[in-house]
Amino acid sequence: MRTFAAFLKTEQRCMGLYRADFFLKLIYGMIAMYGVRSLWTVLYAQDPAMVGRPLASMTTYAMLAVALDIVFYPSALSTAPQNYISGQVRTGRIDTDLLRPMDLQGQLFARNVGTAVFSILWLVVPAWFMGVLFLGMMLPPGFLWGAGFVVSVALSFLILFSLNFLLGMVCFATTNIKQLTMAYSGIITILSGKLIPNWLYPDWMQAVIRVLPFRCIFETPLNIYTGAVTEREIWSGLLLQAVWGVVLFLAGHLLWGRMHRHLTVQGG
Amino acid sequence: MITAKNLSKVYRIAQPVEGRFGALRSLVRPQYIERRAVDGINFSIEDGEIVGYIGQNGAGKSTTIKMLSGILVPTGGEVRVNGLIPHKDRKAHLHNIGVVFGQKSSLWWDVPVIDSLRILKEMYRVEDKVFQKNLDGFSDLLDLGSFINQPVRQLSLGQRVRADLAAALMHDPGILFLDEPTIGVDVVAKERLRQFILEVNRERGVTVLLTTHDMVDMEKLVNRVIVINAGTILYDGSIQGLRERYGRQRRMELQFDGQCPALVLPDVKTEKMRDGRLVVLFDRNSYTVDEILSHIRQMGTPIRDIVIQNADIEQVVRDIYQEGGRAV
Amino acid sequence: MKNQMDEFKFHIKIYGSLLKMTMRGILQYRADFWMSLVSVVLLNGANIVQLSVITWRFHALGGWSVGDLLVLYGMFMISWSIFSIFFHKLAKIEEEIWSGTFDMYLLRPVSPFLQLVGGDINYTGLCDTLMGFGLVITGLSLAGAEWGLWHILWFCLFILSGGVIVVCIRFLISCVSFWTTKAGALGSIFTQIYLLTQKYPITIFGRAFRVLVTGIVPVAFLNFYPASWLMGKPDAPAWLCMLSPVVALVLAGIASLVWRQGLRRYDSSGG
């Protein structure tokens, strides 16, 4: 436990996250949570059937999405692969990464797990706590759902990291990194279910979303937390997340291997 | 004519409040400590002088320059520049002075130098004829022509300071404040800046007050030095006087034929060099050269060569800083 | 009086020259205008999709149809772009104080405000203006609203007032850096607040929030009140909506007072 605390302290220093920052981010989170809560309360009053679930469940879904988004916004972490890689490319230091015989993906993953765990504990958990205390956020309906949510968030992180890393690989090939990153963030915002629950989309779009990995990032954990899925569906949801996570992670691994060979042979 | 009477500046620095909710409490009731950056200084500078203002970082140099240029309001005392109180008659005052900071440019970063100069011409309402005359003059002296159409961000540091000097003088000010104008500039460019400053002083009668850490600047440019330390003036007078008052140390370097002897005398520092040379440091008020030499001769080793040096101005200044003026 | 007039003319002339000069500097960069437009569309796209889906499923949001909402969103963007094109330097006072460049403004015999504002122009902000107009026009046609000359005149007045309001709020927040180093934090909290008023009609929020964005940080006068009147919404009394220019003037007065105090404070603290 003590080593863990020490670890968190160094992470804190690394991220330059100070007390003032912490309170600020908490305040941002609270304002945004208040916003979506108001939105869904009004929409529920307009047409409960269209929302398709109890009001508390819906507002909890939306508020928890906002809380998670503090950390799960694609470029939220300073250590996120695309931030790191595009920074290295811009400053020309990517050469040093290429020269080292190590696995960039593995190293970035380790660092990101560190910052993510830290940020979740210091930003998401307090935001969640405030939500429960002041904004009427529900608790999960049972232990299984709570535990399933925690596992699901971990898997979400794996998927998000892998997608981010793939984006980082694309950063090698383009000069319009800024627009690319924006487009990517936009896609995740729209297709992950964090801004609009996927069940509100037109049927054809839902069909597309179902076969894409993005919904696993927000929709799966949020549905588990709010008890919108049965016990069996928890397992199938987690399984799907795990499959996507492994597939995308491996894809990144292969691509980096290729890229590494290609770039070192060609001299960058 | 610049006069400072009992001029002082006290900063209040907000202190972080310790303890629970410290950040919040410091917002509600901030705690301050006071720092006297400039503590009752007096001086007066006549028209046409070039005065060097020296002191360690944090001694109060920049604070004084800021008060003289009207950016900062004094806490106490009075400052007058050409009869005006800088922060009260700001606009009129600004027409009388030119300011150059060696470390930051006053020019617009992304536009060619000439565009910056033109906008300054408008701001200071300089007449076309005067502007053209100055532009031609400075182009000659500072070789502005070679980079006048380049944006400032592309200039070398030396070029940038040259451009800044030209900009500060476009409106024909009678007084020039230079805050470390030669810092970071290479030796050749430094020399050129010095020549220009001398020229401007001689031809246009511009009064110059400059701060610097470069002792060559002092020796070549300045006819009067003001030394400030911890907010108070330690010395105000000529370089020669400074040397005489503080630079009492002599450095004697002896080369012997054979083994270098040990010299032990009260208040004399010696240092044996690897190649058999001996360096002797002594206070010329305590010993004459003859006394030192006769002591050495008694030890019998023949002397092949002697070099005696004045303490250089850099050493003098270092001594003053270290002793904090106790030598007075 | 004549002197003041001359001084005013002089400053206008200097501002013009500064802008001209800054433009020339920008042209050297040739930042890709179209890429910026793409960015703006991407940045706001998710919100537009969200509003469209919600209004498609629920027919309206708090009584606002999709057309109304697009006008709401678009008006915000246009007013905001006035700030981001011409005045965004005002948000950088803290940086300028830190780097010491703020001193330079005090060393020239021209108003520091003018030098600050004239020193930069962000022409990519024009993309916001374009997208804003696009949204307003689309919104109007979706809502089937017909504006007469009177409405168009008021629209222009609203946009201008909105511009003044954003500029003043952002400027006031920035002025806080004369006193503390917390201006950045205030600025970000402000961002979180306007992100909500930009896309949602404030009637969906609680009373406290409505009071906040009407009376304290009056961002609701950027889009909500003007759009409610222009689109004939019953959400706010007409007189309150038409108060927007007054709010702008009052804020401008406050901002100029605070700025003057801030400069005095800077004089005595040296930043």
The DSSP line for B283-317 is: ETTT--HHHHHHHHHHT-PPEEEEEEEEPPHHHHH
* Residue B328 predicted with pLDDT over 50: no
pLDDT of residue A110: 86
Q: Concatenated DSSP letters for C183-245?
A: HHHHHHHHHHHHHHHHHS-GGGS-HHHHHIIIIIS-GGGTTHHHHHHHTT-TTS-HHHHTTHH
| pLDDT exceeds cutoff 80 at C220 | yes
The one-letter code for the residue type at A243 is V
Distance CA C99, CA C121 (A): 20
Better-scored residue on pLDDT, A260 or B95: B95
Residue from C253, C99, C97 nearest C164 by CA: C253
Question: Cα–Cα distance between A70 and A129 in angstroms, integer?
Answer: 14
Is B151's CB within 8 Å of C268's CB? no
| A28 interfaces chain C, CB cutoff of 8 Å | yes
**B175: closest CA among B311, B15, B3?**
B3
Of residues C58, C195, C206, nearest to A50 (C-beta): C58
Contact A157, A244 (CB under 8 A): no
Chain C hits for B94, Cβ within 8 Å: 107-109
**What does the alpha-carbon distance between residue C173 and residue B205 come to, in Å, rounded to a whole number?**
46
Å between C239 CA and nearest CA of chain B: 38
Strand partners, B225: B52, B237
For residues B197 and B210, what is the distance between their CA atoms, to the nearest angstrom?
A: 10
Q: Which residues in B lie closer than 8 A to residue A26 (C-beta atoms)? A: none
Place of tokens 């031609």: B136
Residue length of chain B: 328
Pairwise CA distance, residues B6 & B4, whole Å: 6
Q: Scanning every residue of chain C, which has its alpha carbon at the shortest distance from the alpha carbon of A190? A: C46
The two beta strands, B207-211 and B175-179, are parallel
Looking at residue B327, its pLDDT comes to: 43
Other CB atoms within 10 A of residue C210 CB: 17
Chain B interface includes A210 (CB < 8 A): no
Q: What gap in Å lies between CA B70 and CA C42, rounded to an integer?
A: 48
Query: Is B71 in Cβ contact with C270 (below 8 Å)?
Result: yes
CA B158, chain centre distance (Å): 17
Interface of C with A (CB under 8 A): 35, 38-39, 42-43, 45-46, 49-50, 53-54, 57-62, 182, 185, 188-189, 192-193, 195-196, 200, 204-206, 209
Answer yes or no: is pLDDT of B263 > 90. no
Q: Are C222 and C75 in contact (CB under 8 A)?
A: yes
Chains interfacing with A (3 or more CB pairs < 8 Å): B, C
* Whether residue B252 has pLDDT greater than 70: yes
Q: What is the pLDDT of residue B311?
A: 67
CB contact under 8 A, C119 and B27: no
Q: By C-alpha distance, which of B3, B73, B85, B1 is closest to B37?
A: B73
The predicted-structure confidence for B166-188, as pLDDT tens digits, reads as follows: 999 999 999 999 998 888 888 88
Which residue of B lies nearest to A19 if distances are taken between CA atoms? B23
| The pLDDT value given to residue C120 | 82
CA distance A185 to A74: 6
Alpha-carbon B79 to chain mean position: 20
Interface test with C, best of B29, B85, B111, B114 (most C CBs within 10 A): B111
At residue B20, the pLDDT reads 62
| CA dist., res. B246 & res. B239, Å (int) | 11
Q: Which residues, 6 or more positions from A186, have their beta carbon under 8 angstroms from its beta carbon?
A: C42, C43, C45, C46
Q: Verify whether the Cβ–Cβ distance C193 to A31 is below 8 Å.
A: yes
| Contacting residues of B for C104, CB less than 8 Å apart | 104, 106
Report pLDDT for C87. 93
Question: Which chain C residue lies closest to A194 (C-alpha atoms)?
Answer: C50
Does position C160 have pLDDT exceeding 90, yes or no? yes
C176 in contact with chain B, both atoms CB, cutoff 8 A? no
d(CA A214, CA A160): 8
By CB neighbour count within 10 A (0-12 exposed, 13-18 middle, 19+ buried), where does B231 fall? Answer: buried
Residue A226, classed as helix, strand or coil, is coil
The CA distance from C49 to the nearest CA of chain A, in Å, is: 8
Pair B112, B188: CB distance under 8 Å: no
Alpha-carbon span A179 to A186, nearest angstrom: 10
Select, from the ranges A110-119, B78-87, B272-281, C94-103, the one with the highest average predicted confidence (pLDDT): B78-87
At position B306, the amino acid (one-letter code) is I
Most confident of A19-23, B225-229, C241-245: C241-245
User: Which residue in chain A is spatially nearest to B23 when comparing CA positions?
Assistant: A20
- Compute chain C's Rg from CA coordinates: 20
User: Of B73, B152, B74, B145, which Cα lies nearest the Cα of B112?
Assistant: B152
Check CB contact of B12 with chain C, cutoff 8 Å: yes
Burial (CB < 10 A; 0-12, 13-18, 19+), residue B15, is exposed
**Paired tokens of C177:** 């850096």
d(CA C205, CA C201): 8
Q: Does A24 touch chain B (CB under 8 A)?
A: no
Tens place of pLDDT per residue across chain A (268 aa): 555 555 555 555 555 455 667 788 888 889 999 999 999 999 999 999 999 899 999 999 999 999 999 888 888 777 788 888 888 877 777 777 776 666 788 888 888 888 888 889 888 999 999 999 999 999 999 999 999 999 999 999 999 999 999 998 888 777 778 888 889 999 999 999 999 999 999 999 999 999 999 999 999 999 999 999 999 999 999 999 999 999 999 999 999 888 777 766 554 4
C-alpha to C-alpha distance for A247 and C187, rounded to whole angstroms: 41
| Distance (Å) from the alpha carbon of C212 to chain A's nearest alpha carbon | 12
**pTM, entire model:** 0.85
**Residue located via tokens 């919100």:** C47
Which residue does chain B place closest to A18, by CA atoms?
A: B23
What's the pLDDT at B24?
A: 63
Cα dist. B64→B218, B232, C265 in Å? 19, 11, 18
Q: What are phi and psi of A228, to 5 degrees?
A: -80, 0
Tell me, yes or no, if B13 comes closer than 8 A to chain C by beta carbon. Answer: no
Nearest to C34, CA basis, from C134, C124, C122 = C124
- The closest alpha carbon to A213, from A169, A247, A255, belongs to A247
Is the Cβ–Cβ distance between A203 and A121 less than 8 Å? no
Report H helices in B76-231.
90-96, 113-123, 128-142, 157-169, 187-204, 215-221
Whether pLDDT at B55 is above 50: yes
φ/ψ of residue B250, rounded to 5: -115, 150
Distance of CA A3 to the CA centre of its chain: 26
Lowest mean pLDDT across B221-230, B313-322, C8-17: B313-322
Cβ of residue C250 closer than 8 Å to a chain B Cβ = no
A119–chain B nearest CA distance, Å: 21
**pLDDT given at position A102:** 67
Chain B contacts in chain C segment 26-45 (CB below 8 A): 26, 28-29
- Which member of C39, C58, C204 has the closest CB to residue A182? C39
Query: Other C-beta atoms within 10 Å of C137: how many?
Result: 13
- Angstrom distances, CA of residue A2 to CA of A9, A14, A111, A112, A114: 11, 18, 20, 21, 16
Burial B177-213 (b: 16+ CB within 10 A, else e): bbbbbbbebeeebbebbbebbeebbeebebbbbbbbb
Q: What is the mean pLDDT of residues B153-174?
A: 92
Contact C107 B94 (CB under 8 A): yes
ipTM of model: 0.89
d(CA B321, CA B57) in angstroms, rounded, equals 11
**DSSP 8-state secondary structure symbol assigned to residue B60:** S
Picking from A41, A259, A262, A249, the residue whose alpha carbon sits closest to that of residue A165 is A249
> With an 8 Å Cβ cutoff, are A46 and C192 in contact?
no
Are residues A28 and C192, on separate chains, in Cβ contact within 8 Å? yes
- Burial of C188 (C-beta count, 10 Å sphere; 0-12/13-18/19+): middle
B123 with C108: Cβ contact below 8 A: yes
In angstroms, the CA A122 to CA B257 distance is 75
Compute the radius of gyration of chain A from its Cα atoms: 19
Optimal mutation site among C95, C107, C265, interface B, most CBs of chain B within 10 A:
C107
**In angstroms, what CA-CA distances link C179 with A227, C88, C174?**
49, 20, 10
